[in-house]
Structure 1
């Protein structure tokens, strides 16, 4: 029952593919599978007892998946990455942070805001880590080909 949410996320990502005007059915399915994969990794990493680490690992997997699919389909990485990472965006944290700010609950505002910022930072660091690694390996491979 816990993993049924991956199916729901797949369907939600398909809807966002329509919103973002992804026209190729193959790209829609692949990007939606990326969202489901990211959520599955997030769920599987729940034993780590650190949601920031869960988000980081899921973000790394999604970013690597997006890089691979971009090479396979000869398409931009961002199309796959944005749609795949969308289910992990901390929307409820942002909402409650603003609600606490408006209602004057300063302690809750700071606590929720810092946690939400941590999640967003974990997502960004995962994407940065993988995309930088891919770029570094590609640069090394190209420099070796030039010298050979």
Structure 2
């Protein structure tokens, strides 16, 4: 439990600091780092129970749902929350070691780390894509259902 609280706090602080680099202001300054902390805690919680890629995907889905909900509540773009919130999951170390292995000529380690890094990035993109698609599809269905039922008398 203490480890989860530590993970939550450190990821919140890292995302909060990143908000200043991106010039984030107002209410988003608190809620965007909160999404990053939520995302990292979901990842850490699932890590002992599921494969690493499933953890990345699940954490991204949780963050995307959070971002979609808060974007509607605060009337701001979803991207504001996603950009800050995905920061803890970005495979920066993987990118670094991929380049290190490439430059040192360790091609087996290079290919292995490259595939892992690309897989992580793909999981992040897929998680955002799935939630975004479901939300847009839901809006479309709601819009057409309202349009199709407009000629009916009220019940």
| Residues in 2 aligned to 1:101 and 1:75: alpha-carbon distance in whole angstroms | 41
| Residues in 2 aligned to 1:123 and 1:2: alpha-carbon distance in whole angstroms | 24
Unaligned regions of 5+ residues in structure 2, if any?
150-155
- Structure 2 partner of 1:52: 53
Q: Could you tell me how far 1:134 is from its partner in structure 2?
A: 0.4
| Residues in 1 aligned to 2:33 and 2:120: alpha-carbon distance in whole angstroms | 21
Match of 1:17 among 19, 36, 50: 19
| Residues in 2 aligned to 1:130 and 1:136: alpha-carbon distance in whole angstroms | 10
Q: Could you tell me how far 1:143 is from its partner in structure 2?
A: 0.6
Cα deviation digits, residues 75-129 of structure 1 (max 9, x gap): 0000011100111000000000000000000000000000111111111110000
| Residues in 1 aligned to 2:60 and 2:14: alpha-carbon distance in whole angstroms | 18
- Structure 1 partner of 2:8: 6
The TM-score, its normalising length taken from structure 2, stands at 0.92
The TM-score, its normalising length taken from structure 1, stands at 0.97
What are the residue-to-residue correspondences of 1:72-111 with 2, within 5 Å?
A: 72-111=73-112
Q: Which moved more, 1:42-51 or 1:81-90?
A: 42-51
Higher helix share: 1
- Structure 1 partner of 2:142: 141
Q: Which moved more, 1:70-79 or 1:44-53?
A: 44-53
| Residues in 2 aligned to 1:107 and 1:142: alpha-carbon distance in whole angstroms | 52
How many residues are treated as equivalent by the alignment? 147
Q: Could you tell me how far 1:63 is from its partner in structure 2?
A: 0.5
Kindly report the root-mean-square deviation, in angstroms, between the aligned alpha carbons of the 2 structures: 0.8
| Residues in 2 aligned to 1:118 and 1:104: alpha-carbon distance in whole angstroms | 22
Structure 1 consecutive aligned stretches of length 4 or more whose deviation exceeds 6 Å? none
Bigger radius of gyration: 2
| Residues in 2 aligned to 1:131 and 1:105: alpha-carbon distance in whole angstroms | 39
